[in-house]
Amino acid sequence: MNSNSLEDYGFTPDRARAFKPHQEQGLIPGRVIEEHRGFYIVVIEHGETRAELAGRYRIENKPFPAVGDWVALRPGEPMLVEAVLERSSRISRSEAGRATGEQVIGANIDTAFLVIAVDKDFNPNAVERYLTMLWESGAQPVLLLTKADAAADLDETISAAEISAVRVPVHAISSTEGTGLDALDAYLMPGQTICLLGASGAGKSTLLNKLAGREVAATQAVRERDGKGRHTTTTRQLHRLPSGALVVDTPGMRELQLWDAGGIQDAFEDIEVLAADCKFGNCTHTRNAGCAVEGVIDERRLESWRKLQKELTRNARRKDDAAQSADAKKWRQIRIDARKKRKLDGC
Ligand SMILES: Nc1nc2c(ncn2[C@@H]2O[C@H](COP(=O)(O)OP(=O)(O)OP(=O)(O)O)[C@@H](O)[C@H]2O)c(=O)[nH]1
Ligand SMILES: [Zn+2]
């Protein structure tokens, strides 16, 4: 149990207003801080509680709660989640192995810290993929180059990162040395929600512990033998920092499949701007006549854009197919029901 108020967790007057209709139904507000199989841990006024999804929740096909969500709870034993409040942002990817299921990594996130370690080779394609996901989320992306103390050539890496991170603030930090962390204060204001994202072993938990001033997350000791990290963070959790900011720590992602296409224009704004001068509106910037992009934008970055573009087109098609087959199923059922009814009515 803790004695925090919901305001400490970001329950703004706007959210309180949005909650009014639920309050009138006898429900109480809370914020999901942990997601487990079959239940959630939710912060409520002056404490924490365990909550489960209300039975009719699944039937009504409402969005499932995710860490960071504001929910309406029906008091009782157990507490039941009856609704999720409208989100100000949500970071989503496709469920592992499926392009048709959305997995919400964090909801109501103000700032997304993309954590990329620079002690080894810097991978600009990975940064571009993450940023395409983050620009779609509604959260402000910020790129953190971690393990700066162990970078071979930090200036060169920062320059490379800035090419991949258009309009994204870039900060080089070291959690072990404590350098560069002051720059993060501006994001860690009371009631602000931050999400830490990045590959396993990038240093998310080490950074979180440093910011928290204590061990709130288990960090990994990278295996000496092969230098590969094991996953140490197993569930998503929302932590409250001494600064008053809230941080969602996510397990490292082995595979990041994009969910929605909306972010690619922002992530590749430089290409978008140039593309306005391509001769043909549907220019793929691949040896097209009158292309204003090819040869101007770094070929590595352009190829990264092409790959993401292709993947998103493929996803959209799959989602369309899935929606169509769901629709077809629904109409088939409606026809069957109508036939049964006609039989009963004796027509
Ligand atoms: N040199 C150096 N090593 C660091 C730094 N930050 C983290 N590490 C090391 O990197 C390894 C991985 O760090 P974690 O914080 O566990 O990584 P993570 O991103 O939380 O990993 P998952 O929980 O698996 O997603 C650990 O051995 C840390 O000690 C840093 O700033 N400098
Ligand atoms: Zn073009």
Q: Would you state the pLDDT for residue 224?
A: 37
Residues of the chain below pLDDT 70: 1-3, 61, 96-100, 218-235, 252-256, 261, 324-336, 338-339, 341-347
Cβ(218) – ligand 1 distance below 6 Å? no
Cβ(176) – ligand 1 distance below 6 Å? yes
**Whose C-alpha lies nearest to ligand 1, atom 2?**
147
Which ligand 1 atom minimizes the distance to the CA of 150? 1
Q: Would you state the pLDDT for residue 220?
A: 56
Q: Specify whether the CB–CB gap between 185 and 104 falls below 8 A.
A: no
Number of neighbours of residue 15 by Cβ within 10 angstroms: 19
Q: Compute the distance between CA of residue 143 and CA of residue 129 in angstroms, rounded to an integer.
A: 13
Number of neighbours of residue 29 by Cβ within 10 angstroms: 22
ipTM of the complex: 0.98
CATH match of 6-84 with 2.40.50.140: yes
Local structure of 17: helix, strand or coil: helix
Give the residue from 211, 165, 218, 216 showing the smallest Cα distance to 188.
Answer: 211
**Residue 219 Cα to ligand 2 middle (Å):** 45
Q: Domain map of the chain by residue range?
A: 6-84, 90-249
Local structure of 152: helix, strand or coil: coil
| Cα 106 versus chain centre, distance | 5
Q: Look at the domain 90-249 and name its fold.
A: Rossmann fold (3.40.50)
- pLDDT, one tens digit per residue, over 75-121 is 999 999 999 999 999 998 877 665 567 788 899 999 999 999 999 98
**Whose C-alpha lies nearest to ligand 1, atom 27?**
221
Residue ranges near ligand 2 (ion) with Cβ within 5 Å: 278, 283, 285, 291, 293
